[in-house]
Amino acid sequence: MKNLDAIRQRYMKEPVDRKLGHLASDLLRIANFLDNPKNIRVVESIIDESKFFIEWLAPEAPFDTQVLLAEIQPKLAFLQLRLAKQENLGDLRNFAKIWSKQLIEASGFLV
């Protein structure tokens, strides 16, 4: 990931709902990129970015959202290992879509 400090500074200026939206968008991008096995490196990069977003966001998120983030982050790491072996990519796609929807709901963008 290029210039992590600049990404962090820009991300931290956003309100919590937008941060959740960015993370949800990343997770949906993961699901969409998994349609083509040639995108594995891109997916790995987005997973890395998502794990950082979770780490930066969690301390300021509401408690119920912190719980959700705490569930997602280690699962992303586990799925990243499966991705390296190209195992059960359909599962990874499904999980990413589910988590994206949960985060959009937590952001309040869907009413």
Q: What is the pLDDT of residues 9-41, one digit of tens each?
A: 999 999 999 999 999 999 999 999 988 878 888
User: How many folded domains does the chain comprise?
Assistant: 1
Q: At what angle do helices 89-107 and 63-84 cross, to 10 degrees?
A: 160
Q: Are 28 and 100 in contact (CB under 8 A)?
A: yes
67 belongs to a structural domain? yes
Whether the model clears a pTM of 0.85, i.e. scores above it, the answer is: yes
Task: Tell me the mean pLDDT in the region 79-86.
Answer: 82
44 belongs to a structural domain? yes
Q: What is the pLDDT of residue 2?
A: 67
Residue 54 belongs to what domain range? 40-111
9 belongs to a structural domain? no
Q: Residue 69 pLDDT > 60, yes or no?
A: yes
The type of residue at 105 is E
8 belongs to a structural domain? no
CA 109/CA 90 separation, integer angstroms: 27
